[in-house]
Amino acid sequence: MIKVSQLTKKFGSHVSLDNVNCEFHKNESIALMGANGAGKTTLIRSILGYYHPDQGEVLINGLNPIKDRTKVLQEISFVPQLPPPIKLSLDELIQYVSISAQVDRELILHYANEMKLDINANINKSFFKLSGGMKQKMLIAISLAKKSDIIIYDEPTANLDPKARDDFYRLLKQNEEEKVLLFVTHRLEEVKDLVNRQIYMDLGKIVSDETI
Amino acid sequence: MKNLYLIAYLDLKESIRARWFVVYSLVFGGLIALFFIAGVTESQVMGFSGLSRLLLMYIQITIVILPIFILITTVRSISGDRDNHILEYMLSFPISLKQYYWGKIIGRFITVYLPVLFAMVIAVVYGAFKGADIPWNIFFLYTGLLFALSSAFLGIAFFISSFVKSSEVALGIAFFIWIFLLAFIDIALISLMMQQRFNEELIIFISLANPMELFRVAAISLFDPELTVMGPVAFYILDSISQGMFVLLSIGYPLVLGLLFAFLGYKIFEKKDLV
């Protein structure tokens, strides 16, 4: 599903990804780990088509995420580590998602409800004015409602309380079939029941890749 | 196309809620109100009176403040979204870069153009209510000139926004461009350059290349056939080109300039790393 071949990405003289090769297949849940600056976020951003590689390529179902970005991104859900300060209201954000990615609005409301986010009380509030946890719940609800084949979470539970984490893992369990789940995490113990593969990165290279 | 309209629509809604938009609208609406309160329409200076006089004053102030307003409010649109990771999230949805970029431009253009246009419309409506003669030729000329000037500076702002790494740098460049172009209108550097006896073709070229100078000369030329309130370059330009041709040039050139910069900005946006 995702094929990364000889991927190298440099920022000035700093090599962020150094000839990375890996493949991710259906029904794999991967914990992507490593110290700060190991290249995890660069790898994810390359998969999302944000970076032009210095060498190598990324293919998603055989498509290049830069050249065929709309087709590729139709199949990917992404939740960043820190929710960005989007100034749109929740209603406008839902409108943006449902029109651009053909996501059912009711499904977003359903998952928000499952995450115990009272969307109706906040529907006209700017996204950036919500609390950190509420923002994260909203982005998680969107990611699940999108029904993508590939779900990428960059430290998704950083702002969530224990109850919300349980809700999140329960919903993920219900939605993981036939998908690639890619977690960037520093806390393996939190996702160890979910993942079946662990990848460690260091200095832009994959140093360990174990299937459990 | 629906994604293009979606981006434009959401950017428009977001901008209208922003504090800068309130200030921006109040400045231009307030100017018109101030002119009426100050009795500008009843005064007569150098042959201008009534609504013509009011519109002339409005446009002279607009020359200076509209470009900087557009630059500082727009220059951070993409670089700011990149800075605070909004771009990273919003572009994780299947929207093409073309739709995102041009949608933002359309939304922002409507935001910056409508308040300056509405301010003039209010002036005309209020003037008509007060029984003043409506100078329609001036009104339509200014509508076109403001459209062209807004396009030029919006294009420049998006161009800057597409390549700078941080929004602080973007603001710095925007201020520099504004000061630089302002310095190259008659009243400042151009007069100095003429005193130094630079080649007159060079001076005319510099003037014609500056959208602010074009705007200024075109805006005043309808009023002042004697060109007493304009500088030497304006006089020279209107001596060389017919007034009709010059008005066309003063609307067409900033429009093309704005589109060109916007297009260059898009090419950079497309070729660069997005976040």
For chain A, say whether B226 makes contact (Cβ under 8 Å): no
Domain boundaries, chain A: 2-82+138-211
User: Is B224 a residue whose pLDDT tops 70?
Assistant: no
The predicted model gives B85-110 an average pLDDT of: 96
What's the pLDDT at A145?
A: 96
Subunit contact B273:A50, Cβ cutoff 8 A? yes
Report the residue from B14, B89, B93 with minimal CB separation from A100.
Answer: B93
Is residue A50 within 8 Å of residue B273, measured between CB atoms? yes
pLDDT, tens digit (0-9, with 9 covering 90-100), for A24-82: 999 999 999 999 989 999 999 999 999 999 999 999 999 999 999 999 999 999 999 88
Specify the pLDDT at position B223.
62
Domain count, chain B: 1
Q: Which residue in the block uniquely carries the two structure tokens 């890749």?
A: A209
pLDDT score for B121 = 92
- The top-level CATH class assigned to A2-82+138-211 is alpha beta
Which residue from A minimizes the CA distance to B83?
A: A84
Interface residue B270 vs chain A (CB under 8 A): no
DSSP string, B197-256: T--HHHHHHHHHH-HHHHHHHHHHHTT-TT-TTS-HHHHHHHHHS-HHHHHHHHHHHHHH
Three-state DSSP class for residue A63: strand
What is the average pLDDT score of chain B?
A: 86
Better-scored residue on pLDDT, B158 or B200? B158
**Rounded mean pLDDT of B127-142?**
85
Q: What confidence score (pLDDT) does residue A63 get?
A: 97
pLDDT digits 0-9 by tens, B4-33: 999 999 999 999 998 889 999 999 989 888
Query: Residue A171: its pLDDT value, please?
Result: 92
pLDDT of residue B182: 85
What local confidence, expressed as pLDDT, does residue B188 receive? 65
List the domain range (segments joined by +) for residue B195: 2-271
ipTM: 0.95
- Distance between CA atoms of residues B162 and B159, nearest Å: 5
How high is the pLDDT of residue B271?
Answer: 94
Q: d(Cα B33, Cα A136) in Å, to the nearest integer? A: 46
Rounded to an integer, what distance in angstroms lies between the CA atom of residue B149 and that of residue B219? 11
CA of A210 to nearest chain B CA: how many angstroms apart? 28
| Mean pLDDT confidence for A125-150 | 95
